[in-house]
Amino acid sequence: MNDTAQQDRVLIFDTTLRDGEQSPGATMTHDEKLEIAGMLDEMGVDIIEAGFPIASEGDFRAVSEIAKNAKNSRICGLARANFADIDRCWEAVKHAEKNRIHTFIGTSELHRAIPNLTMDEMADKIHETVSHARNLCENVQWSPMDATRTEWDYLCRVIEIAIKAGATTINIPDTVGYTAPVESADLIKRLIETVPGADEVIFATHCHNDLGMATANSLAAVEGGARQIECTINGLGERAGNTALEEVVMALKVRNDIMPWHTGIDTRKLMQISRRVATVSGFPVQFNKAIVGKNAFAHESGIHQDGMLKNKETFEIMRPEDVGLSGTSLPLGKHSGRAALRDKLEHLGFEVGDNQLKDVFVRFKDLADRKKEVLDDDLIALMRVGGDDENDALKLVSMKVVCGTGGQAEATVEMEIDGKDISATAFGDGPVDATFKAIRDLHPNQARLQLYQVHAVTEGMDAQATVSVRVEEDGMVVTGQSADTDTVVSSAKAYINALNRLVVRRAKMGEGVDAKEISYRDVT
- Identify the CATH assignment for 4-281 out of 3.40.50.10680, 3.30.590.20, 3.40.1390.10, 3.20.20.70: 3.20.20.70
Query: Is 50 exceeded by the pLDDT of residue 80?
Result: yes
Considering the domain 394-520, what is its CATH architecture? 2-Layer Sandwich (3.30)
Instruction: Tell me what pLDDT residue 359 has.
Output: 83
Cα–Cα distance, 36 to 277 (Å, whole number): 7
Q: How confident is the model at residue 272 (pLDDT cuts 50, 70, 90)?
A: very high
pLDDT at 509: 67
What lies within 8 Å, CB to CB, of 224 at 6+ separation is: 184, 185, 186, 187, 188, 189, 192
Q: pLDDT tens digits for 366-379?
A: 878 876 667 776 78
Phi, psi torsion values for 78, nearest 5 degrees: -95, 145
Q: How confident is the model at residue 340 (pLDDT cuts 50, 70, 90)?
A: confident
- Residue 521's pLDDT is 30
Confidence band, pLDDT 50/70/90 cuts, at residue 25: confident
> For residue 129, what is the enclosing H or E element?
helix 119-136
Q: Tell me, what DSSP letter sits at residue 313?
A: G
**What is the pLDDT, as a whole number, of residue 524?**
25
Burial of residue 405 (number of CB atoms within 10 Å: 0-12, 13-18, 19+)? exposed
Q: Which residues does residue 33 pair with via DSSP β-bridges, in sequence order? A: none
pLDDT in tens, 162-221: 999 999 999 999 999 999 999 999 999 999 999 999 999 999 999 999 999 999 999 999
pLDDT at 511: 56
User: DSSP 3-state assignment of 358?
Assistant: helix
Spatial CB neighbours of 3, under 8 Å, sequence gap ≥ 6: none
Q: In what helix (H) or strand (E) does residue 154 lie, and over which residues does it extend? A: helix 152-165
Q: Is 95 a residue whose pLDDT tops 90?
A: yes
Average pLDDT score over the chain: 87
Rounded Cα–Cα distance for residues 28 and 4 (Å) = 36
Within its chain, how far is the Cα of 213 from the centroid?
19
Instruction: Give the SS3 label for residue 378.
Output: helix
Known binding-site positions for Mn(2+): 19, 206, 208, 242
* 206 and 173 Cβ atoms separated by less than 8 Å: yes
Residue 520 is predicted with a pLDDT of 27
Phi, psi of 454 (to 5 degrees): -125, 130
Count other Cβ atoms within 10 Å, centred on residue 433.
18
pLDDT of residue 406: 73
pLDDT at residue number 309: 54
3-state secondary structure 208-261: ECCCCCHHHHHHHHHHHCCCEEEEEHHHCCCCCCECEHHHHHHHHHHCCCCCCE
SS3 content of the chain, % helix, strand, coil (to 5): 45, 20, 35
Is residue 513 very low, low, confident or very high in pLDDT (cuts 50, 70, 90)? very low
124-154: burial string, b at 16+ Cβ within 10 Å, e else: ebbbebbbbbbebbebbbbbbbbbbbbeeeb
More confident residue, 69 or 482: 69
Q: Is the pLDDT of residue 360 over 90?
A: no
Tell me, what's the pLDDT at 518? 34
pLDDT reading at 516 higher than 80: no
Question: In 3-state terms, what secondary structure has residue 64?
Answer: helix
**pLDDT given for residue 330 in this prediction:** 45
The tens digit of pLDDT for each residue in 394-404 reads: 999 999 999 88
CA–CA dist 369, 381 (Å, integer): 16
pLDDT, position 332 = 67
Q: Where are the domains of the chain?
A: 4-281, 295-325, 328-387, 394-520
Residues 6+ apart with CB under 8 A from 130: 103, 140, 142, 161, 162, 165, 166, 167
Give 114-146 pLDDT, tens digit per residue. Answer: 999 999 999 999 999 999 999 999 999 999 999
pLDDT band at 316 (very low <50, low <70, confident <90, very high): confident
